Amino acid sequence: MFELRKKWPILGRHQQAADWLQVWQDLGRAPRTIDAYARGLAEYLELCERESVDPARATRAHIALYVRELGSRPSHRGVNVVALDSGAGLSSATLQQRLVSVRLFYDFLVEEGLRQDNPVGRGRYIAGPRGGGRQRGLVRRLEKLPWIPSDEQWRAVLTVAAAEPVRTRLMLALVYDAALRREELCSLRTDDLDPGRRLVRVRAETTKSRRERVVPYSATTGVLLSQYLMHRGMVSRARGGLFLSESRRNFAEPLSLWTWSKVVRRIAVAAAVERFSTHTTRHLCLTDLARMGWEVHAIATFAGHRHTDSTMRYIHLSGRDLAERFTRGMEHIHAQRVALLSAGAEDSGRPR
């Protein structure tokens, strides 16, 4: 909690906010989740102080003011932003994330008896004279197709990666083969691998859904793994993290998420495919499985999703893929109809 207050001093001036975040910490939520909650709430509390309003007595009008401010705020990344979908600088997903923090904070105040209601709207099912419907939340939720590279862009990335150290090449191969998230990849341990059967175990505590899964990897990745394990032995022979840092400052320590992100970013820039990120390979793998005809439930199991709805958001069939499927389907239907017409012509030529 001290680190959060040091990062956002405003949390130290609002005891209720500090108490709420402490509850989440005590419940064992991931540090990155706590950090995201703290950031969203700190920004809202700053608005409350500027408006001279007690957060416990804020109204829906103050929430609306916060939403307007978020919607017009320029991105802190400036020229490094690759794509914007909010029209201002913060994406729809970021706006939703900020509001979740505030919504959960007010849920806490209601449960503690400090408020009668939650001023942050929720999209929820409501009944009406013409049937049921879904009430809109404060921010319209936009769901965009995930970006995946074209074949040419993917080859450009691989060409640059081919000159990278074996650790980087193995990480790229493994993250694609097994559709791993960044946290899952960097958290792999030496005992999570089964080289004999070419399987990797993704431990529950490292996954977003807290569900363990075992997934295969290719023979090519197996060769890279053998090469890397020989190299790793020169860095450290101790069991533990699979991917180790070789920098002077963190030598033989597990590779951090941020270091891996920097490596991928450097490769993306060198390949002139700047939209390529640590999550792109996961999107590409799941989409490729769909292209190969895998059932959506099998893909969901492979990806570690609890629901197929999540899987469908990850699968991105391009216009070309859909056009090819449409053409194949239409050819089949066309053939059937022509056959029926031919049969009809034959029947019409028979004496009656």
pLDDT given for residue 261 in this prediction: 94
Query: What's the count of helices (H) and strands (E) in the chain, helices before strands?
Result: 14, 5
Predicted confidence (pLDDT) at residue 85 exceeds the cutoff of 60 = no
Residues of CATH 1.10.443.10 domain(s) within the chain? 151-314
**Mean pLDDT score of the chain, rounded to an integer?**
80
Pick one of 1.10.150.130, 3.40.640.10, 2.60.40.420, 3.60.20.10 as the CATH number of 2-121: 1.10.150.130
Q: Which of 175, 170, 203 is nearest to 189 (CA)?
A: 203
Q: Report d(CA 22, CA 125) in Å as an integer.
A: 32
Helix (H) or strand (E) holding 172: helix 166-177
Query: Model pTM greater than 0.75?
Result: no
Question: Can you tell me which residue has the tokens 């509001």?
Answer: 99
Is residue 324 scored above 70 in pLDDT? no
CA quadruple 34, 37, 43, 45: dihedral sign: negative
The predicted structure's pLDDT at residue 338: 63
Residue 309 has pLDDT above 80, yes or no: no
- Cβ–Cβ under 8 Å, residues 244 and 232: yes
Q: Which residue blocks in the chain are alpha helix, DSSP H?
A: 2-7, 15-26, 31-50, 60-72, 92-111, 151-161, 166-177, 182-186, 219-235, 257-270, 280-291, 296-303, 308-314, 319-348
With 0-12 / 13-18 / 19 or more C-beta atoms within 10 angstroms meaning exposed / middle / buried, residue 170 is: buried
Residue 174 has pLDDT above 90, yes or no: yes
Assigned CATH for 151-314: 1.10.443.10
Q: What is the DSSP letter of 244?
A: B
**Which segments of the chain belong to CATH 1.10.150.130?**
2-121
Confidence category of residue 83, pLDDT binned at 50, 70, 90: very low
- Give the confidence band of 84 by pLDDT, cuts at 50, 70, 90: very low
